[in-house]
Structure 1
Amino acid sequence: MTLRSQPKLELHLHLEGAAPPAFIRGLAREKHEDIGGIFDERGHYSYTDFWHFLKVYEVATSVLRSPEDYRRLTLAVLEESAAQGVIYSETFLSPDFCGGRDLSAWRDYLAAIEDAAREAEATMGITLRAIVTPIRHFGPEKARETARCAAETAGRFVTGFGIAGDEKVLEPKDYLWSFDCAREAGLGITAHAGEWRGPDHIRATLRDLKPSRIGHGVRAIEDLALVDELAETGTVLEVCPGSNIALGLYPDWRKHPIGQLHHRGVKVTVSTDDPPFFHTTMTREWDRLADAFDWDQGVFDTLNRTALDAAFCDAETKAEIAKKLEPAR
């Protein structure tokens, strides 16, 4: 069995960021819009740094304007994931992009996405759950509106709440109301931290937002006391090595801290973040990690079990996914 064919779980995937470039170009042509400036000569997304990446991301997202667009997007993304052996995925969804945080419009977008998810599960064998995510640099007031959308639609499909965007904007405590709202609605809590800011930001995020998972979190390695704390508390890191390397946080795979974090007992998982932007797939992530750290099948089984334990889904869904993992153990 190859790494490509082995079942995989992914906890950190931005739906719009996973849109195949060809899909976005095709949608732009249908709408008679010229967004060619966000692609290179090979048709890949083109950006210079993380902040330019955010702008390119928003331009690409701008052609997604209707529930039907998102239904088609979801099918396209899940087809790509399933082809890499992914059997369970959690994706970040932002009401900012899906109806402008209007609850009625959000419900329409969500219904279309969930419809596509059901179709993909039936035809491709991949299960999808949603983490509602305010955009940090849009500010705390808009985050409150997003949290209300999340709380009103929490259930079997919408199972988590997080925050993404420019990590250098404001502080975790500025979003406390939104996270309290989501937590009261029974949603699992995660938060991007420790990507563009260091250990102190991770500590503040843990203290103020109380997530069970941290998106990225790799800069914890700069403070070994924090690393030990993460290991002791069982906080799960949603690590996206290919993304970190593509954006210049680390020069190559061998120097990425996921190996040290795993060695020191931190619960790590592996995801692709925004795969076409970073020229990666879940298979590529596993391949590069196997090469860089000599990880064997046992390590990848551990990654899957960690992801399953940390997943924001109900016990019945976890039991179904566990059965799919049994042949890989």
Structure 2
Amino acid sequence: MSLTALPRIELHHHLEGAAPPALIRDMARARHVDISGIFGPDGGYFCRDFPQFLDIYEAATSVLQGPGDYARLTAAVLEQAAAQGVVYLETFLSPDFCGGRDLTAWREYLHAIEEAAAAAEAAHGITLRGIVTCIRHFGPDKARQTALCAAETAGPFIVGFGIAGNETAGHPRDFAWAFDMAREAGLGLTAHAGEWGGPQSVRDALSDLRVDRIGHGVRAIEDPALVEHLVETGIVLEICPGSNIALGLYPDWRSHPIERLRKAGVKLTVSTDDPPFFRTSMTREYDRLADAFGWDEDVFAQINRVALDAAFCDADTRAAIAKKLEPADV
């Protein structure tokens, strides 16, 4: 089996962050909104660092103004992901952007997203599940409202709760109430940490939020005791190498710590984060990892088994996806 034929599971993915630039431009043009400054000369998103990325992300998201727009977005994103061999995708969804954290509005957005996801599954064979995500730099009070939206819509489609945004804003313990509500609703828990906040941010997310997975988490490599703790507890890291390199966290692929973490025994997965913003795709991630570290089909198959075990979906969905990971000759 070649790398191109490998079915893939992706666990760290932002729906708005995967929006094709052409789609966002078309929506902006239709609404007479000028966001031309977020695009580079080649028509793609243009960002130099993480703060600018956050600004561009929110500017792009501002033209998504109703459930119908999110249905279009979901359809476009899933078609592209399926073309990259992704068979199961967990994406971050934020009621902050989908109805301003109003529960009734959130349900309308969610219905549109689910309908588009069902159509994409029928057409392309890709399964989508949602992780409701609060925005850290919006503050803990808004996170509580987001957690309520998550708890009230938890079920087969909404399977997790997380936190994203600026890691330097506030402290994980400020968001403990929101995570407790999500936990009580039976949702899987994840948190962005260990990217810009350093290894201590991973420790804080684990102790204060009691999450099941860590988004990114790569800075854990700077703390051997933390690496050992991750191995002992089986906490899974949702690693997005292309994103880390594009934003300057590491200078190149060979400098990225993903292989050192894997060899140390840390459970990890590979994802794209916000693929068009970082000029990446699942195919590119796989190709660059193979080039940098010699990863072969067996390594990637192991990565996807870890991802399947760590997925927040129900048992029936997990069993169905497991069959898609089996070699074609089995």
* Superposition TM-score tier, normalisation by shorter sequence: over 0.9
For the 8 Å contact 1:90–1:130, the answer to whether it is kept is yes
User: How many Å separate the matches in 1 of 2:128 and 2:54?
Assistant: 24
Match of 1:217 in 2: 217
Match of 2:145 in 1: 145
Match of 2:108 in 1: 108
Q: Following superposition, which runs of at least 4 residues in structure 1 exceed 3 angstroms of deviation?
A: none
Match of 2:95 in 1: 95
1:48-197 alignment runs, 5 A limit: 48-197=48-197
User: Is 2:239 the counterpart of 1:239?
Assistant: yes
Q: Which runs of 5+ in 1 are unaligned?
A: none
- The AA in structure 1 aligned to 2:226 is L
User: Is 2:34 the counterpart of 1:34?
Assistant: yes
State the TM-score, normalized to the length of structure 1.
0.99
User: How many Å separate the matches in 1 of 2:37 and 2:251?
Assistant: 27
Q: Count the aligned residue pairs.
A: 329
User: How many Å separate the matches in 1 of 2:155 and 2:172?
Assistant: 25
Aligned-residue offset at 1:198 = 1.0
Describe the SS at the equivalent of 2:12. strand
Q: Deviations over 1:144-183 (max 9, x none)?
A: 0000000000000000000000000010000000000000
Match of 2:253 in 1: 253
Aligned-residue offset at 1:72 = 0.3
User: How many Å separate the matches in 2 of 1:129 and 1:182?
Assistant: 16
User: How many Å separate the matches in 1 of 2:51 and 2:5?
Assistant: 35
Q: Deviations over 1:178-212 (max 9, x none)?
A: 00000000000000000001111111110010111
Aligned-residue offset at 1:5 = 3.0
Q: Deviations over 1:280-310 (max 9, x none)?
A: 0001001100111111111101000000000
Match of 2:309 in 1: 309
Percentage of pairs with the same residue? 70
For the 8 Å contact 1:5–1:84, the answer to whether it is kept is no
User: How many Å separate the matches in 1 of 2:138 and 2:28?
Assistant: 25
User: How many Å separate the matches in 1 of 2:24 and 2:4?
Assistant: 25
User: How many Å separate the matches in 2 of 1:281 and 1:47?
Assistant: 17
User: How many Å separate the matches in 1 of 2:32 and 2:55?
Assistant: 20
- The AA in structure 2 aligned to 1:322 is A
User: How many Å separate the matches in 2 of 1:225 and 1:174?
Assistant: 25
Aligned-residue offset at 1:2 = 3.6
Match of 1:10 in 2: 10
- The AA in structure 2 aligned to 1:164 is A
